[in-house]
Chains A and B, each alone.
Chain A
Amino acid sequence: MALVPSGDARAFEVIFDRHGGAAFSLAYRMCGRRAMAEDVVQEAFLSLWRNGARYDRARGSVRSWVLSVVHNRAIDVLRSGVTRESRNVHDDGITERLEAPERTEVEVARRDEADHVRGALGQLPTEQRHVLELAYFGGFSQTEIASMLAVPLGTVKGRMRLGLTKLRIVLGDPADALA
């Protein structure tokens, strides 16, 4: 990662190889359309290429940083207002066509991590899990979520806090998983 700010294209390619799949997976989960997800990932990686110097190793792993850039970019796109109505339409068959292979120990470990996080999410009460998913994967603001669920804003904030706190207890230090 240290070589990317100096314009090392090979280093950039390595970063893409390592984290492009996770980035695309997150973008596709959020956008629901392959073309849109690809656009989000491409723009996010180009942003990393342009702004790689901003990466601070002390503040998290490269993977975490990449995914946060993708997440922010996807939120920007989702909140543009033109995609919201139709983004629940997922491309048929894409998960089968592009399902990540598990050829290495790292890939197997990541599958296990995904299972662990999904399991932790599954342990949450439905209403807490729901607001977390609407916010993180749906890109909705807490005000929008309160309106959608017809509950007070304070209730949404409370559910978010409870949900994250419980996840923190179950997951421990997730920074290890994101390394």
Chain B
Amino acid sequence: MSGPDCSVGPRDCGADVPGYVLGALDRVDAELFRRHVDSCAVCRDEVVALTAIADSLALAVPQLRAPKSLKRRTLACIHPDACAGPAQRPAWLRLGSSRPAVLPTVSIGRRGALVAGGLLAAAAIGVGGISLASRDANGIRDLPAAVIDQGRFANAVLHVESGHAELLLSRMPAPPTGKIYEVWLERHGGEPQPTSALFSVTSHGAATVDVPGNLTGVSEVLVTPEPAGGSLVPTQPPVIVAPLAS
């Protein structure tokens, strides 16, 4: 075994191993623990051992067949003609835990924001608007949004109900110092229109933001970091793009 003695580290060594292998650490704690494991052979060994135990819990659930429709639509999505396949899908567009660590090269400024938004929306519709959106019998929809370069666990969902939308964020970093998040509405092919929605997030990265205005004709809800007080045109690329599937 190599690496430093676990007991001399500043952490309560090993205490977070169970939470880590069960996926029960908060984002910050998980990242801190990952770094710790890189340099602690004791915890590394324990993670390996307990991961196998935690993984076995998946076997305990009642076994079901995967619906045939699920297989059909999943396989359809790996064919480029059906939806954006892996070869065509921008590498930086990821939802959930696969989000990119680095924003693609996008020029800062209005056009940059528009280009990024447009590209994201075009691809995100293929991922989120169709594959992940859920809709109940009353037409209430929860549309996952693409979160760009805001950490692995940042998450955004657009909740749409009766023509009104709410943006629900979790584990979202606070806007940069001196900035605030601003919500924009983009209609097909048009410029993003500013809204009155300016917001920050709680210390836990949470926010519930009413999206002002009528959603008729809106193709995307965007969020950009802007100077305090907001902007009339985007000055930064979007950090959240929520395509509104029809």
Which residues of A from 34 to 68 have beta carbons under 8 Å from B? Answer: 34-36, 38-39, 41-43, 45-47, 49-51, 60, 64, 67-68
Interface Cβ pair total, 8 Å cutoff: 220
**A114: chain B residues within 8 A (beta carbon):** 59-63
User: Which of B56, B71, B134 has the most CB atoms of chain A within a 10 A radius of its CB?
Assistant: B56
Q: Which of A41, A67, A161, A177 makes the CB contact (< 8 A) with B70? A: A41
A174 to B16 CA separation, bound complex (whole angstroms):
21
Q: Does B96 interact with chain A (Cβ within 8 Å)?
A: yes
Q: Is the CB of A140 within 8 A of B53?
A: no
Q: Which residue of A lies closest to B166 (CB)?
A: A82
Chain A nearest CB, measured from B43 CB (Å): 13
Q: Is the CB of B155 within 8 A of A79?
A: yes
Which residues of A from 88 to 104 have beta carbons under 8 Å from B? Answer: 94-95, 98-101
Query: Beta-carbon contacts of A1-25 to B below 8 Å, as 1s and 0s?
Result: 0000001010011001100111111
Q: Is the CB of B78 within 8 A of A38?
A: no
Q: Which residue of A lies closest to B136 (CB)?
A: A35
Query: Beta-carbon contacts of B129-171 to A below 8 Å, as 1s and 0s?
Result: 0011111000000101000000001011101000000001111
Q: Does B65 interact with chain A (Cβ within 8 Å)?
A: yes
**B157: chain A residues within 8 A (beta carbon):** 80-82
A72 to B60 CA separation, bound complex (whole angstroms):
17
User: Which of B61, B132, B171 has the most CB atoms of chain A within a 10 A radius of its CB?
Assistant: B61
- The interface on chain B, measured as residues whose beta carbon lies within 8 A of the other chain's beta carbons, has a size of 63
A71 and B26 in contact (CB under 8 A), knowing A79-B155, A99-B65, A114-B63?
no
Query: Beta-carbon contacts of A129-161 to B below 8 Å, as 1s and 0s?
Result: 000100111011111010000000010010011
Chain A nearest CB, measured from B111 CB (Å): 29
At the interface with chain A, which of B3-11, B17-25, B176-184, B218-226? B17-25
**B65: chain A residues within 8 A (beta carbon):** 21, 24, 98-101
Q: Which residue of B lies closest to A68 (CB)?
A: B55
Chain B nearest CB, measured from A70 CB (Å): 8
A176 to B19 CA separation, bound complex (whole angstroms):
23
Q: Is the CB of A16 within 8 A of B168?
A: no
Q: Which of A16, A28, A164 makes the CB contact (< 8 A) with B71? A: A16
Q: Which residues of A contact B (CB under 8 A)?
A: 7, 9, 12-13, 16-17, 20-26, 28-29, 33-36, 38-39, 41-43, 45-47, 49-51, 60, 64, 67-68, 70-73, 75-77, 79-83, 94-95, 98-101, 107, 110-111, 113-114, 117-118, 121, 132, 135-137, 139-143, 145, 154, 157, 160-161, 163-164, 167-168, 171, 173-175, 177-178
Q: Which residues of B contact A (CB under 8 A)?
A: 15-19, 21-26, 49-50, 52-67, 69-71, 73-75, 77-79, 86-87, 89, 95-98, 127, 131-135, 142, 144, 153, 155-157, 159, 168-171, 206
